[in-house]
C-alpha cells in the first residue's frame, strides 16, 4: 500500500556564488535600500513625536482649564468647598471602618469563597457596588473640597 505524500517545499535554496563584482553591486544596492528604510523610519518617528507633543499640549490645556474652573467654583462657593472637604474626611473614616468589616468577612469566609461560587458572588454583590460608589463619592468630594494649592500639585 503506497501513501502519496504532498511535495514538501525545498529545505535549501540556491545561492548565487558567481562573480564578486556582482556581489559588491548587490551589497551597495542593499545598503542604499537600508539607508532609505532607516530614513523612512526616522521620518515616521519624527511625525509620531510631533503628534505626541500636540496631544500633550491638548491634554495640558484641558487640565489647566479644568483646574481654573474648579478654582473659580471654590472661590464662588467657599463654604460649600469647605463642607465638601469635611464630608470627604468623614466619609474616608467611614470607608476605613467599612474596609475593616470587609476584610474581616474575607478572612472568615475565604475558604468558602474559594470553593463555592455562590459565596464569592454573594460577597461581590454585597461589597462591590457599595465600595465602588463610596470611592467615587469620596473622590468627587475630595476634589471639590481640596485647597487650590493641592489641586495644582
Residue 115 lies in a domain: yes
Question: Is residue 83 domain-shared with residue 70, that is, in the same domain?
Answer: no
Residue 5 lies in a domain: no
| SS3 assignment, position 69 | helix
Q: Rounding to the nearest 10 degrees, give the CA dihedral for residues 10, 13, 14, 15.
A: -170
- Domain range spanning residue 23? 17-76
Per-residue pLDDT tens listing for the chain (153 residues): 555 555 555 666 665 656 555 555 556 678 889 999 999 999 999 999 999 999 999 999 999 999 999 999 999 999 999 999 999 999 999 999 999 999 999 999 888 888 888 888 888 899 999 999 999 999 999 999 876 544 444
Question: Is residue 44 domain-shared with residue 96, that is, in the same domain?
Answer: no
How far apart (Å, rounded) are the C-alpha atoms in residues 118 and 138? Answer: 30
Residue 3 lies in a domain: no
Question: Is residue 141 domain-shared with residue 100, that is, in the same domain?
Answer: yes
Question: Is residue 114 domain-shared with residue 131, that is, in the same domain?
Answer: yes
CA angle in degrees (0–180, nearest 5) for 37-13-17: 80
Question: Is residue 64 domain-shared with residue 111, that is, in the same domain?
Answer: no
Question: Is residue 120 domain-shared with residue 136, that is, in the same domain?
Answer: yes
On the CB side of 67, CA atoms within 13 Å amount to 13
Please give the model's pTM, rounded to 2 decimal places.
Answer: 0.56
How far apart (Å, rounded) are the C-alpha atoms in residues 34 and 28? Answer: 10
How far apart (Å, rounded) are the C-alpha atoms in residues 50 and 44? Answer: 10
Residue 122 lies in a domain: yes
> Domain ends where: 37, 55, 76?
76
Residue 146 lies in a domain: yes
Amino acid at each position: 500500500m503506497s501513501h502519496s505524500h504532498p511535495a514538501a517545499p525545498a529545505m535549501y535554496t540556491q545561492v548565487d556564488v558567481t562573480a564578486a563584482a556582482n556581489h559588491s553591486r548587490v551589497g551597495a544596492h542593499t545598503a542604499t535600500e537600508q539607508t532609505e528604510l532607516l530614513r523612512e523610519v526616522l521620518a515616521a518617528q519624527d511625525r509620531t513625536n510631533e503628534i505626541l507633543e500636540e496631544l500633550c499640549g491638548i491634554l495640558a490645556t484641558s487640565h489647566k482649564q479644568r483646574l481654573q474652573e474648579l478654582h473659580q467654583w471654590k472661590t464662588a462657593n467657599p463654604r460649600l468647598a469647605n463642607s465638601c472637604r469635611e464630608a470627604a474626611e468623614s466619609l474616608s473614616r467611614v470607608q476605613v471602618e467599612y474596609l475593616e468589616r470587609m476584610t474581616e468577612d474575607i478572612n472568615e469566609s475565604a475558604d468558602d469563597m474559594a470553593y463555592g461560587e455562590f459565596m464569592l458572588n454573594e460577597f461581590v454583590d454585597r461589597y462591590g457596588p457599595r465600595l465602588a460608589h463610596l470611592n467615587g463619592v469620596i473622590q468627587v468630594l475630595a476634589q471639590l473640597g481640596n485647597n487650590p494649592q493641592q489641586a495644582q500639585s
